[in-house]
Structure 1
Amino acid sequence: MNKIEKEPSHTYTSVAESVFQVERSAWNNCANFIDDNRNIGNPFLSHEFFSCLEESGSVSKETGWISQHILLFEEGNSLIGILPNYLKNHSWGEYIFDQVFANAWENAGGKYYPKLLSAIPFSPVAGERFLIKKGYSRKFVIEKLLDALEDLKKFYKVSSAHINFINEPQLKIVLKNKFWFERNNIQFHWSNQNYENFEHFLSKLSSSKRKTIRRERKEIHKSSILIDIVKNDEIKNYHSKIFYNFYLSTIEKKWGGVYLNQKFWDLLIQYLKNRIVFIFSKQDGEFIGGAINLIDQSTIYGRNWGSIKDIKFMHFEVCYYQAIEYAIMNNLKKVEAGAQGFHKIQRGYLPTKTYSIHNFSNNNLSLAVQKFLNSERTQIGKELDLLMTKSPYKLL
């Protein structure tokens, strides 16, 4: 028998200009985040993660991320829904690239910034964007939060509102509103098909791909490189300092921006230690590279990686193969390795469609973007089909 989901007759919304204006337990009840040995809930949606961003100053007015979190209450001041949201004057740190819209509109004499963005800053992690307290109607809460987002858009007189990396169930609810447009992207995820161990996984690959992975791992294993997995209470304060240097090395190599400062990483291991898995590589007792992963009850999320030495295949071992082994050993269903990198397919990570949705205040801009996105979605679909033909798995 289906449970009846609540649709309160009296609700109201407000905007929090800081995550610290929201009680941690109330936020996490909506995010379905329970920080215990069951690892329930996506850590990127937790009050703790947003606190790390804000307390460190990585998210602030100075960095162009002004918190405008939309809160939905039922009568009696009980928080039942949240839309994490920001007022932004740039498009950095989003992993959904809308500069093509911005440039077109600015060239036409319009003003694209500021804009509103609902997302997890600096984290291309798909999932729920509307955080809904258990027992309440998803459709009801989403529609109320969308109405509040529209009001906020009008209040600030911004060009647009965007919701990045929303999951498919919530996407379908939002798209019933004809004023929102869907955009697709591709990430690479590994799926655990009840593998007993890494060799069991390899047995499902084509012979050539299996040999390649074994050769790459053998090169690492016969070298002087040791892999060190650090988690839970094994994590010490110095690990965040070590990893920050690796993070900076990657930024320098890619000419990127340092979005997350040292204080962020210090706070992350303070607030979310039980959700972190560091995978470090060592040589002669020295840390030379590492990746940080976050986990929930079903997924290990590969986030950032860096190294101070360029050693062949070390990146594959630390970021891909060790993550797969960890998932198998801990009965996790998925490894999310993020966007970019055709090379991930050959290592068992298959292309997966992700979603974002966009709404524009100006009709001309709205029509132009709609036309562009219709064409882009077709191209993404073709690219996804082509990538799937490169699957390393044996045909059944």
Structure 2
Amino acid sequence: MTPPPDFTIHVHDSLAAIGREAWDACAAPTGDPFVSYDFLHACEASLSAAPRQGWGPRHLSLRDADDRVLGVMPLYLKGNSQGEYVFDHAWAEAYERAGGRYYPKLLGAVPFTPASGPRFLNHPDADPATVRQALIQGALGLTEQTGVSSLHVNFPTRAEWEAMGEADMIRRQDMQYVWRNNGYQTFDDFLVALSSNRRKTIRRERRDAQAGLEIRVLTGAEITEDHWDAFFAFYMDTGSRKWGRPYLTRDFFSMVGQTMADRVALVMAFRDETPIAGALNFIGRDALYGRQWGALEEVPFLHFELCYYQAIDFAISRGLSRVEAGAQGEHKIARGYLPSPVYSAHWIADPALRTPVARYVEQERAGVDAEIAAMTAYLSPYRTAD
């Protein structure tokens, strides 16, 4: 439960306490926009992920004897399970019915972001495996020290997931839907890879969605505060109808626009110069990540056009290898997004809860593997080889 000799773990109640330079020295080499200082700081500074919303920062830094930061981990003391996308509400209810106290818990994750990526970030001069092991043990040690019920790490990489399993954390698996770029040069190249029925359907959906509208993909300096005003209205309308309480504040979008607009692809639909719908994407080193969407006008197939087809177009134009379209949505399969595993890992202090959860997760993992295989075999829109 302790870091290797000559390394120390420090706990910080804000990202600013670690600092942009030290954090991004570890985060920037990953190419992942969500673990960047700018994204995580926007979550905190905008009060989207704040203690009163159930997100209390407990970020870790790993330092050597000269106080140099060799690794960092985004970590939060959670007072609820909202905004996580790995669902443990049933565990919490069962434990509390039995007289236990599930909250608070510790969560290693990016707030409100069901996108797989690194959770244990190392400086390029440090050994990744050593840093990862030290941060895992540091997080487990903080769980024990603070007396909370559990530690959870959501949407890590597979290598991190396996390493946490070696540290006796419970490994859970789910799935999301991912479009992969098989060397396509144009959207039509992608369509050629599909069955003839799916080609026809997608062309019709795109034609119907675009009728009477202008679709623009904005990035960098093209994105103005007026665009963010419009998008926030879309986000609030959709969020209020689907979730009851949207998570992100208006300030979050301005902060992202000020600090990382070059890593944003904002797809907007206009009718007579009036924006009516939009989809927000973040650009990674080799992937496009779909995040929020919203619309103030009902247009057939517009959701598919802005969230899926425009994302594919953009990824092809940038030479990106994949589009990750976020949580849930079996309807994505018919649009070329195939099921792919995503991971989480969990440490539960009380054996009375840990044992049944471990048993359940093992069965669940086998079921997810079987479901991925069946969906890929029977629902894939891609042409089979002759």
- For normalisation by structure 1, the TM-score amounts to 0.94
Q: CA deviation at 1:8?
A: 7.9
> What code does the residue aligned with 2:184 have?
Y
Which position in structure 1 is the counterpart of 2:70?
Answer: 80
Which position in structure 2 is the counterpart of 1:196?
Answer: 185
Which position in structure 2 is the counterpart of 1:340?
Answer: 328
Which position in structure 2 is the counterpart of 1:51?
Answer: 41
Which position in structure 2 is the counterpart of 1:159?
Answer: 149
Pick from 345, 361, 364 the counterpart of residue 376 of structure 1. Answer: 364
Which position in structure 2 is the counterpart of 1:209?
Answer: 198
Mean CA deviation greater in 201-210 or 234-243:
234-243
Q: Which whole-Å CA distance do the structure 1 matches of 2:192 and 2:32 have between them?
A: 31
Which position in structure 2 is the counterpart of 1:351?
Answer: 339
Give the count of matched residue pairs: 382
Which position in structure 1 is the counterpart of 2:252?
Answer: 264
Describe the superposition over 1:305-361 as per-residue Cα deviations: whole angstroms up to 9, x where unpaired: 000001101111111001100111111111110121111000000101000000010
Q: Quick check: 1:12 aligned with 2:2?
A: no
> What code does the residue aligned with 1:26 have?
A
User: Which consecutive unaligned segments of at least 5 residues does structure 1 have?
Assistant: 1-6, 34-39
Conserved? CA contact 2:263–2:284, under 8 Å: yes
Which position in structure 1 is the counterpart of 2:315?
Answer: 327
Map residues 230-379 of structure 1 onto 2, 5 A cutoff.
230-379=218-367
Conserved? CA contact 1:142–1:174, under 8 Å: no
Map residues 137-176 of structure 1 onto 2, 5 A cutoff.
137-176=127-166
Which position in structure 1 is the counterpart of 2:119?
Answer: 129
Q: Quick check: 1:99 aligned with 2:89?
A: yes
Describe the superposition over 1:130-181 as per-residue Cα deviations: whole angstroms up to 9, x where unpaired: 0111132222112211221122112221110000001101112221122x01
User: Which consecutive unaligned segments of at least 5 residues does structure 2 have?
Assistant: none
Conserved? CA contact 1:320–1:337, under 8 Å: yes
Q: Secondary structure at the match of 2:113?
A: coil
> What code does the residue aligned with 1:356 have?
S
Conserved? CA contact 2:270–2:277, under 8 Å: yes
- For normalisation by structure 2, the TM-score amounts to 0.97
Query: CA RMSD for the aligned pairs?
Result: 1.3
Deviant stretches of 4+, over 4 Å: none
Which position in structure 2 is the counterpart of 1:4?
Answer: none
Conserved? CA contact 1:16–1:70, under 8 Å: yes
Q: Which whole-Å CA distance do the structure 2 matches of 1:100 and 1:284 have between them?
A: 48
Q: CA deviation at 1:245?
A: 0.3
Conserved? CA contact 2:4–2:134, under 8 Å: no
Conserved? CA contact 2:109–2:155, under 8 Å: yes
Pick from 213, 225, 230 the counterpart of residue 225 of structure 1. Answer: 213
Conserved? CA contact 1:83–1:129, under 8 Å: yes
Q: Secondary structure at the match of 1:365?
A: helix
Q: Which whole-Å CA distance do the structure 2 matches of 1:325 and 1:171 have between them?
A: 32
Mean CA deviation greater in 314-323 or 149-158:
149-158
Q: CA deviation at 1:44?
A: 0.3
